[in-house]
Amino acid sequence: MSAGFVRAAFAVLSSLILLGALHAWDDKEDVEAHRKKAEQGDASSAYALGMAYAEGRGVGRDEKEAARWFTKAAGMGHVKSMTTLAWLYESGRGVQKDEKEAARWYEKAADKGDADGMTNLGILCAHGRGAEKDEKKAAGLFQKAADKGHVGATYNLGWLYENGRGVGKDARKAAELYQKASDKGEVSATFRLAFLYLNGRGVKKDEKKSAGLLRKAADKGHVTAMNNLGGAYELGQGVEQDYKEAARWFRKAADKGQPDAAYNLGRLCEGGLGVEKDDE
């Protein structure tokens, strides 16, 4: 089973993905005011200027210039800039892709208590990208970030416990962590929790609860949950058997590119179950 770790929460800013909220200012006067302060050594203004270039607010969008100002801010100890700069190195946006440099900046942010830095460094350690592969270290980083309330880290730690990677295998602990993350809106955790309830791993087997969790994840756009919910309706697993509803969910997932769903919908079409029979 491949690790589908959840990264730190990044906000989409134009076509560039960076940490942080949108700034309220967008005119040249604000940009120049921040530039003057940044040149005088103000880290927050250097970060704000980086965001301006990243978003194209008050200046033309320029990823290289954004990276330059994030580098200045990070060098002055601005933690959010460290994590943002690390992501730029990891993704090769505005700078040459360099996962070792990404790991270095994530670690600097993590050392200053930044939960996003901990989470993303944990992912690199778990995969051995930019850092020596060390699932035990990854688990420790996820735990620290989870203790700070980081939802993605909570889910990631649950995945490690479910699969016994870097920690002792413990389905009950995994279920507890997935529940915490699910309660905070992490759809991947909702999906994994549904799997545990379906199979009675770490929790009492409950097909009805599993189907309810699948529906919750599917309604949030989780395509594999859509496919599995279709399967639940086809088999009458935790819900009343309903081939039409099965076909509906298989079609939703297939339309989003889920290959198993396309196959499952084809099966129903062949048998005329919930859809018109396709004899061709």
The pTM of the full predicted model, rounded to 2 decimals, is 0.89
Residues in the chain: 280
Profile the chain (280 residues) by mean pLDDT over runs of 10 residues.
57 34 59 93 95 89 95 97 96 96 98 96 96 97 97 96 97 98 97 98 98 98 98 98 97 96 95 71
* Residue pLDDT, tens place only, 109-120: 999 999 999 999
Number of structural domains in the chain: 3
Q: Are 178 and 193 in contact (CB under 8 A)?
A: yes
Is residue 176 domain-shared with residue 201, that is, in the same domain?
A: yes
4: in domain: yes
Domain edge (last residue) among 133, 168, 190: 133
Domain boundary among 162, 187, 205: 205
* pLDDT value of position 21: 38
Residue 152 belongs to some domain of the structure: yes
Tens of pLDDT along 164-207? Answer: 999 999 999 999 999 999 999 999 999 999 999 999 999 999 99
What tokens does 115 get?
A: 């939960």
Task: Write out the residue range of the structural domain in which residue 156 sits.
Answer: 146-205
pLDDT of residue 213: 98
Dist CA 131 CA 80 (whole Å): 21
Residue 228 CB-half CA count within 13 A: 24
Please report whether residue 141 resides in a domain. Answer: no
Question: pLDDT tens-digit profile of 232-259?
Answer: 999 999 999 999 999 999 999 999 999 9
- The verdict on 74 and 190 lying in the same domain is no
Q: What is the CATH number of the domain that holds 232?
A: 1.25.40.10
Answer yes or no: do 211 and 200 share one domain: no
Report pLDDT for 28.
78
